[in-house]
Amino acid sequence: MSAARTLDWLLLLPSLLLLALLMGLPLAAMLATSLQPNVLLSFTGPALDNYSYLLSRGYYLQVIWRTLRMAGETTLFAIPLGYLAAMLLRNLSGRAGNLAIMGLTFPILAGPLTVVLGWMALLADGGPFLGPLVEAGLISPPRLLGSEAGVVISLVQFVLPFTVLTLYTGLRQIQPQMHEAAQSLGASGTARFLHVTLPLSLPSVLSATIITFSLAASSFISPHYLGGAGQLTLTTLVSQFIMATFNAELAAAAAGLLLLLMLASVVVITAVIGRFVRP
């Protein structure tokens, strides 16, 4: 038995080493960098001055708040939209179900960069979608490019496949006998949903919420191309610090803040939704 345990640890060793060397160590180096003085701020490091600088300026507080707000808005749209889709997809089987799942993995594999190209055209006031509506005088130019709404629309589209696939997996694990039992006890469709499906699916709603929020908060491509300089989020702020103002220390601090905020959000989401999950 102990020989088997040793073998297990040996087999796990390469992946743990990969994680430690290629993620743990770099993140430690990044956090160390974030505590150092730089061209903008002189202090004797290691100290938290870079963090207090970012947290004391209205401009950066806006960036932080925007990051969390956009991720929150994206999650609030994606979870109900995705839940309904997962409920409908659950009933598909065989070829149709297969195609439906493949259709969802497809945008993930095509990559967000190619998808965002499409959004840059579709969200443009003179684009093929909005252009005719504007010309016909049906709507005033919505100016979605460079707006928060534009970024959130594309973020919802970007996260939806992940949201739906997570919820779908969870919903498929609920045994059909549960519904049959509820039905035979005379529960109506609404009652079956409220008292059987919904409570049993809450663990997957929890993981879908965490995945959706994290993906939205860590997204770079959508805010970069569709938000631009007027809609900076923490990820695009990090890239600005590196590529435009060449301040590695503030970039590290902004990245550290993003990690911290994402961790805090996961804790909050788990606490809020976890209260409803029956043990």
Residues in 158-187 that interact with other proteins by CB under 8 A:
160-161, 165, 168-169
Which of 35, 54, 70, 85 contacts other proteins by CB under 8 A? Answer: 85
Asked if 251 touches other proteins (CB under 8 A), the answer is yes
Task: Indicate whether 39 belongs to the interface with other proteins (CB under 8 A).
Answer: no
Q: How far apart are CA 11 and CA 5, in angstroms?
A: 10
Q: How many residues bind other proteins (CB under 8 A)?
A: 82
Q: Using the rule CB under 8 A, is 150 a contact of other proteins?
A: no
**Residue closer to other proteins, measured from CB, 81 or 196:** 81
Q: What would the two tokens of residue 62 be?
A: 């806006």
Q: Which is nearer to other proteins, 62 or 173 (CB)?
A: 173
Of 217, 232, 269, 273, the residue at the interface with other proteins (CB under 8 A) is: 217
The token pair that represents 58 in the structure block:
């209205």
DSSP letter for each residue of the chain: -HHHHHHHHHHHHHHHHHHIIIIIHHHHHHHHHHTS--SS----SSSSHHHHHHHH-HHHHHHHHHHHHHHHHHHHHHHHHHHHHHHHHHH--HHHHHHHHHHHHHHHHH-HHHHHHHHHHHTSTTSTTTHHHHHTTSS-----TTSHHHHHHHHHHHHHHHHHHHHHHHHHTS-HHHHHHHHHTT--HHHHIIIIIHHHHHHHHHHHHHHHHHHHHH--HHIIIIIGGGG--HHHHHHHHHHTS--HHHHHHHHHHHHHHHHHHHHHHHHHHHTTS--
Least distance in angstroms from the C-beta of 51 to other proteins = 15
Is the CB of 20 or the CB of 58 nearer to other proteins?
Answer: 20
Residue from 52, 98, 188, 245 that binds other proteins (CB under 8 A)?
A: 98
Q: Considering only residues 41, 115, 196, 200, which one is a binding residue for other proteins as defined by CB under 8 A?
A: 115
Stretch of 38-46, 177-185, 197-205, 235-243 contacting other proteins, by CB under 8 A: 235-243
Report if residue 14 touches other proteins, rule: CB under 8 A.
yes
CB of residue 87 to other proteins, shortest distance in Å:
8
Taking CB under 8 A as the binding criterion, the range among 78-86, 143-151, 179-187, 198-206 that sits at the site for other proteins is: 78-86
**Contacting range for other proteins; rule: CB under 8 A; set: 8-16, 136-144, 195-203, 268-276:** 8-16
